[in-house]
Amino acid sequence: MDYFKTAPNFMWGVATAANQVEGGWDEDGKGMSIADCMRYRPKIDTNDYQAVNQMDSHEIELALADHSTKGWAKRHGVDFYHRYREDIKLLAATGINTYRFSISWARIFPNGDDTEPNQAGLDFYLAIVKELAKYHITPVVTLSHYEMPLNLVLKYDSWYDRRVIDYFERYAKTVIDYLHQYVQYWIPINEIDSIIRHPFSSAGLVADRFPEDNFKTVTYQAMHHQFIAAAKVVAYCHQNYPKMQVGSMITRTMVYPYNSDPDNVLAATQTMRDVYAFSDIQVRGRYPAFLLEKLTADGIKIKFGSNDKKLLAENTADFVTFSYYSSICTASDTTGLPVTKANRTIGVYNQYLPESEWGWQIDPVGLRLSLIDLYDRYQKPLFIVENGLGAVDELGPDLRVHDTYRISYLRQHIRQMLIAIANDGVELMGYCIWGTTDMISASSNQMSKRYGLIFVDLDDNGDGTYNRYLKDSYYWYQQLLSYGTQIPVNYLQEADTKLQCS
């Protein structure tokens, strides 16, 4: 085989999130969001995700009292709010045909429970999709990506209160109606499973606001309300805009057994079932029996509305999206085993894989395995909406970033993806690199953990010019996309198959 072939409508793109790039946190009527409460705290180990993402009422009070952007990285982002035309023009020049981005709920309904939307916010996103249309780029829009209005936390305890479903539905309908001429693909909630790992950034849940409750019960009840809200988005799109498609999304970290011990194989299987449960609900339209049994055993009882089961069953996702960065191992007894990091989680170290500077183990074959597993499970179109490498990049005297390590990462993962299409019968809609320009890291609130194809002159303290500079990976992706539907196999080969980061 000399070429990897893709369908003419394959969606090659890039992806980002409003809270990580936009800035303009208090401009043009935008309300304060939960992301605006996340500080960069250099004294905390950035690999300690629980500590980095921990939020309590005192932290929120500090955020409310401080109206500056210094130290509050997601308040300034990388100034996409004012530079979106420049950024989209640079990205369009790579040859992408797809751009995944999210809408800030607090930019549309500043308090979340407002009766009327903020027109300036609607017009901002309309300007973005019109700019994308100018370059024949298809938008894929996420409605909630770690940025719900803070007022919903303070007034309603966030997604735990069922009324928030109605507020989200109003927000979603408003945005869908306003952008319907330009947007066909929607994702209601980013990585819906992440509420279990980081309940504040995902769903605005603050443990100390529930002193009398089992916080695990609170978390699963909030999760249920997110599922109902997502199903309502599916129902609204299908009833009012039949050509629209609505996807589900999970975090897909590949999990292997530490060795061939059957107990360890079972532990890995159980871990993966826990992840799949979240897509099962959205794709199959019901809670899997094992999850209900597990919740019962843990003393957790989810309160269902009278129509909830019917709503879930009748409004399943049209396609399945996921993020993929790395893999981990697990065992029935992890005592004394070496630990590694992944996308806001931890696991047992895999001796056969290299790791990034942030300790994420790099596993291109794991992406192929993920595609096979997901497609065999659901038999619905898949979409990789996040895949990329966070690394420290240095701008050279030639005003370029020579990120050969990122090119190697992308090359190996894209190769495995194309093999899955060619050999494994996987129906794949598209692939988006995370991210676009550099942006504030979701997992560590750092700028120095860079993912973009375009370097942004900004440091962890928020100092810099915000100027953009193209990386070598930008040109590599541009060349890849220039091949169209037939990508030479040798373009995705390299002598050293073991990726090393700088």
Tell me how far apart the alpha carbons of residues 390 and 305 are, in angstroms, rounded to a whole number: 41
Tell me how far apart the alpha carbons of residues 371 and 418 are, in angstroms, rounded to a whole number: 10
In the DSSP assignment, the letter for residue 68 is -
The answer to whether 383 and 377 have CB atoms below 8 angstroms apart is no
For residue 204, say if its preceding peptide bond is cis, omega within 30 degrees of 0. Answer: no
Per the listing, tokens 């370059």 go with 135
In the DSSP assignment, the letter for residue 209 is G
Q: Which residues are catalytic?
A: 191, 386
What residues have CB less than 8 Å from 221, skipping those under 6 apart?
Answer: 160, 302, 303
Three-class HEC string of 461-488: CCCCCCCEEEEHHHHHHHHHHHCCCEEE
Three-class HEC string of 296-357: HHCCCCCCCCCCHHHHHHHCCCCEEEEECCCEEEECCCCCCCCEEEECCEEEECCCCCCECC
Cα separations in angstroms, 500 against 346, 391, 441, 448: 21, 11, 21, 18
What count of Cα atoms within 13 Å lies in the side-chain half-sphere of residue 20?
28
Task: Report the candidate in 337, 386, 334, 328 with the shortest Cα–Cα distance to residue 361.
Answer: 328
**In degrees, to the nearest 5, what angle opens at C-alpha 204 toward C-alphas 202 and 210?**
125
Tell me how far apart the alpha carbons of residues 298 and 401 are, in angstroms, rounded to a whole number: 50
The answer to whether 370 and 384 have CB atoms below 8 angstroms apart is no
Strand 339-342 to 345-348 pairing: antiparallel
The answer to whether 39 and 71 have CB atoms below 8 angstroms apart is yes
In the DSSP assignment, the letter for residue 459 is -
Tell me how far apart the alpha carbons of residues 468 and 404 are, in angstroms, rounded to a whole number: 19
The burial of 379, by beta-carbon neighbours within 10 Å (0-12 exposed, 13-18 middle, 19 or more buried), is given as exposed
